[in-house]
Structure 1
């Protein structure tokens, strides 16, 4: 006779074997990939982390469309330019859903733009695009806001008089103030405690995203939601952002509506007041709060991190920095305002900005998509509800598209005569219906900020420092290791 403990072990082994064979049968319905294990899926193959290079290595064995299993959940990975482009743009509507993984569901409840799907997502996104355009997206009035923040940043570095500084906070402060002016109608000062709380909350969220505990939460949400850990800190950080957004909405309501909306919240509140015919209105305070969070997170962290990488690359490549400065000096006057349109006269500077985005590759894996109906993906039949993940890193490092994909090389965006050339495989903002809402704003910010900084300063390592770490720290975005530089007046 078996003891109770022995019987329990036999039962566990039996269930694992049954689970294994069920998985093998389920695998036949998806593109091929590494064989999943019971309970863990392919987490072992990934060393329990979602690493861009591991995803590209797996593609060498399994092809540019393959399946990974996270527990019982299959995820189709698209690798390389052609697979990502075809997968995201051949039937863009079919793959426009957003995966509501347990952690993201706990954050935004499927509302807002970034983590929403279906009719609500379409409404919020369409309203967001239209409102940003009405507020000056692509026009000189918005560029003046960017120029104003860029001049504050130049002044900050000037006041340091060449003393070493970690530029992370001032970059984040200046970039996020652009979106703050658009959404809230005002700027934050450096010393503002509320702003520092928002920055801390943002850093916590991006640090947690993509971590092992994040993946564990999505595998075991019922258990993790009842345990302490970094996931609790990340959730409370999102609540900090939401509470601030709610206070701002209330402040706008109490102030009353003006004839001319002044910021994004004013436009949204005006939309909420409009009579709705028939269908349940999707313009409500909850959606507004989560849209504000999306705009703040998406409009601050990504652009400031890209610039943080950009200054690092200029220190590591002083010859490239010098070429940018020579071009800026030759084309622009010392006090001339820099507009996004000037990029056409500054091909080398424009190429360097693009190469910073390509090489830093801060959002290395695109946000997961979900099939909203049965469809075909690169010849494979895919059922409604299937999760699709475009590996953006594999596009920006595709050896079939870039001459030296693993080197920082502005020549990727220049022809033999030195003219700027756009590249189809330049997809840092993703592709298809889920392409980044603020792409034009981000491009404008990166060019104007970078050109202003390089025109005013030469960036170099502090005295006595000879080496700097250029390897990324993995999280929600790829961050550089903290570093200090000196901004010497140019």
Structure 2
């Protein structure tokens, strides 16, 4: 090809690119979506997302465009809600319109709209109603679940003592302890800390959390169709999820073989009984697929978020020994050392309550929330959000809203204490989200955090040879989950 031909080809390519961009720009601007940075064809707003720092990047864009703005992940518009007022207005004041569940590309091939977390419409309503009722019947919010947590907390103390003050990485024992609580409800039994098969499964939860939050996981959420064809560690997510699903399936088969409908042992028994009862009802959503995926939802969500929060808690309390000492004193006064903590103690322990709330606010374990969609064309603050549009209610911007918290980027229990030292609520405390999609395990998680942390501090002082900095304890603010740095600590028995 001569130079004239090359020049003609380049000119044609340039004109084509300008035409594509012009057409895209007109279509983009025709929508009455909230404002945001101008997206590019194919890649959307990729240039606005710093590598591996999706959360930080979205917060920075929000600082520029305000509390309601639009970002494009590829060709998909996603409405971002930033700050307490915008999130409350959407999820509480317009709760029905924003009640849909969006997709998460990293797990969508497995769940595909099934299970209580990722379903919508009548399926979601049936599964959520049943799950809330069944979990309450098995003690969520009642004393029976409190007794299960108390028992597991003592198993955890016993396990910690076997390390004889040696420095350890606390992830495994915390994951196992927290998982055992939900296992006792869902599967009807707990597992020994020496059970290597169980430990392997629990480590898979953590690996999934890490992968979804990684740069690879972030790219998969932004460009799912492209990332399907690109090899990388993100491919492990589906493999791990399938393995976990096989474990759940085997447990369900065990229950089916020994089921006594008159005496349900756990959540699985109750679901199987409901399946059999509704067998002739074509409108029923109680199927084997929904059973397996709902149990996996409960197993995963009931383990990783609470154990991750406790890992943040230990790290923070090592950094601030004065706060840890104040907690020790409150425990000594209210509980002493001759009995186990119970949930009624919480009302007498405002400082512990405030510290736990601040740990949850500061660690911000699920900063982006789980995606929502609007279930109908929705008017919101003068804009039109079409039915089916994804919405990210950014919990990180609520928990760090400077209009709600005096030192939003600092760990400060005073955020939840009044002038008299009593516990003070905050409407902007939303680590479990809010509205119709609020975490159905909120009551269980709150009870676990109080009883596990109080029991550990009743028995031990947390210590480390490492001197941690403010940067060490600060959440990473990268992807789906905020995971603490890897660290080791020693549990020093308290002298009483």
Question: 2:4 and 2:464 mapped to 1: Cα distance?
Answer: 68
Contact 2:341 2:451 in 1 (8 A): yes
Paired residue for 2:19? 18
Q: Mean alpha-carbon deviation: is it higher for 352-361 or for 272-281?
A: 272-281
For the 8 Å contact 1:36–1:42, the answer to whether it is kept is: yes
Corresponding residue for residue 78 of structure 1: 81
Is the alpha carbon distance of 1:221 and 1:62 closer, same or farther for their aligned partners in structure 2, counting shifts above 3 Å?
closer
Equivalent in the alignment of 2:358: 355
Residues 302 and 445, structure 2, Cα contact 8 Å, conserved in 1 = yes
| Deviation, structure 1 residue 97 | 1.1
What is the 5 A alignment of 1:82-101?
Answer: 82-101=85-104
Residue 73 of structure 2 contacts residue 223 of structure 2 at CA under 8 Å; is this kept in 1?
no
CA deviation after TM superposition for structure 1 residue 298, in Å:
0.5
| Structure-2 residue corresponding to 1:325 | 328
Alpha carbons of 1:153 and 1:385: their partners in 2 closer, same or farther (altered >3 Å)? same
Report the CA distance shift for 1:489/1:215 in structure 2 as closer, same or farther (over 3 A). closer
Partner of 1:486: 490
Cα distance between partner residues in 2 of 1:296 and 1:480: 21
Q: Is the 8 A contact 1:208 1:475 kept in 2?
A: no
CA shift for structure 1 position 476: 3.3
Could you say if the C-alpha distance between residues 217 and 55 of structure 1 is closer, same or farther in structure 2, counting changes exceeding 3 Å?
A: closer
| Residues 35 and 42 in structure 1, CA contact (< 8 A), matched pair in contact too | yes
Deviates more, 1:297-306 or 1:258-267: 258-267
Q: Distance in 1 between matches of 2:392 and 2:224?
A: 21
The answer as to whether partners of 1:458 and 1:487 remain within 8 angstroms in 2 is yes
- 1:254 is the counterpart of 2:257: yes
**In the superposition, relative to structure 1, how do residues 185 and 23 fare at CA in structure 2: closer, same or farther (>3 Å)?**
same
How many angstroms does 1:486 deviate by?
1.1
Instruction: Give the CA deviation at 1:206.
Output: 1.0
Give 2:304's match in structure 1, choosing from 283, 301, 304.
301
Partner-residue secondary structure (3-state), 2:77: strand
Q: Does 1:235 align with 2:238?
A: yes
Distance in 2, Cα, partners of 1:305 & 1:128: 24
Q: Deviations over 1:385-424 (max 9, x none)?
A: 1111111111111111011111111111111111101110
- Deviation string 1:281-337 (CA, Å, 9 cap, x unpaired) is 311111111001100110000000000000111100000000011011011131222
Matched, 1:179 2:171: no
Task: Determine the C-alpha separation between the residues in 1 that align with 2:85 and 2:278.
Answer: 45
Is structure 2 residue 415 aligned with structure 1 residue 399?
A: no
Which residue of the partner structure matches residue 447 of structure 1? 450
- Tell me the residue number matched to 2:119: 116
CA contact (8 A) 2:53 2:479 kept: no
Structure 1 CA distance for aligned equivalents of residues 227 and 72 of structure 2: 20
Three-state SS of the structure 1 residue aligned to 2:473 is: coil
5+ long unaligned stretches in structure 1: none
Give the direction of change, closer, same or farther, for the CA distance of 1:257–1:91 in structure 2 (3 Å limit). same
For the pair 1:426 / 2:429, whether they are aligned, the reply is yes
Of residues 481, 487, 492, the one that matches 1:477 is: 481
Q: Which runs of 5+ in 2 are unaligned?
A: none
Q: TM-score w.r.t. structure 1 length?
A: 0.95
Match of 2:200 among 197, 202, 206: 197
Within the alignment, does 1:467 sit opposite 2:471 as a pair? Answer: no
Separation of aligned partners in 1, 2:63 and 2:265: 52
Asked if the contact 2:175–2:307 (Cα under 8 Å) also holds between the matched residues in 1, the reply is yes
- The 1:15/1:452 distance shift into structure 2, 3 A limit, reads farther
State the superposition RMSD in angstroms.
Answer: 2.0
Distance 1:166 1:210, change over 3 A: closer
Contact residue 363 and residue 474 of structure 2 kept, 8 A: no
CA shift, 1:2, in A, is 7.9
Range with bigger deviation, 466-475 or 337-346 = 466-475
Change (3 A) 1:470 1:41: same
Equivalent pair of 2:368/2:480 in contact (CA under 8 Å): no
Cα distance between partner residues in 1 of 2:263 and 2:439: 28
Change in 2 beyond 3 A, CA 1:219/1:470: closer
The superposition leaves residues 10-38 of structure 1 with CA deviations (integer Å, 9 ceiling, x where unpaired) of: 56544543342334332442111111122
Alignment partner of 1:312 is 2:315: yes
Q: Pick which of 343-352 and 151-160 moved more.
A: 151-160
Q: Which residue of 1 aligns with 2:209?
A: 206
Mapped to 2, the partners of 1:278 and 1:285 lie a distance apart of: 15
Q: May I ask how many residue pairs the two structures share in their alignment? A: 488
| SS of corresponding position for 2:393 | strand
Moved more, 158-167 or 350-359: 158-167
The Cα of 1:55 is off from its aligned counterpart by 2.1
Mapping for residues 153-172 of structure 1, pairs under 5 Å: 153-172=156-175
CA distance in 2, matches of 1:117, 1:5: 54
Cα deviation, residue 9, structure 1: 5.6
Q: Which residue of 2 aligns with 1:456?
A: 459
CA distance in 1, matches of 2:333, 2:106: 51
- CA contact 1:154–1:453 (8 Å) conserved in 2: yes
8 Å contact from structure 1 (residues 204, 233) kept in 2:
no
Contact 1:104 1:115 in 2 (8 A): no
Question: What whole-Å deviation, never above 9, does each CA across 1:23-72 have from its counterpart, x for those lacking one?
Answer: 43324421111111221111111124453332222222211101111111
Asked whether 1:63 is paired with 2:63, we answer no
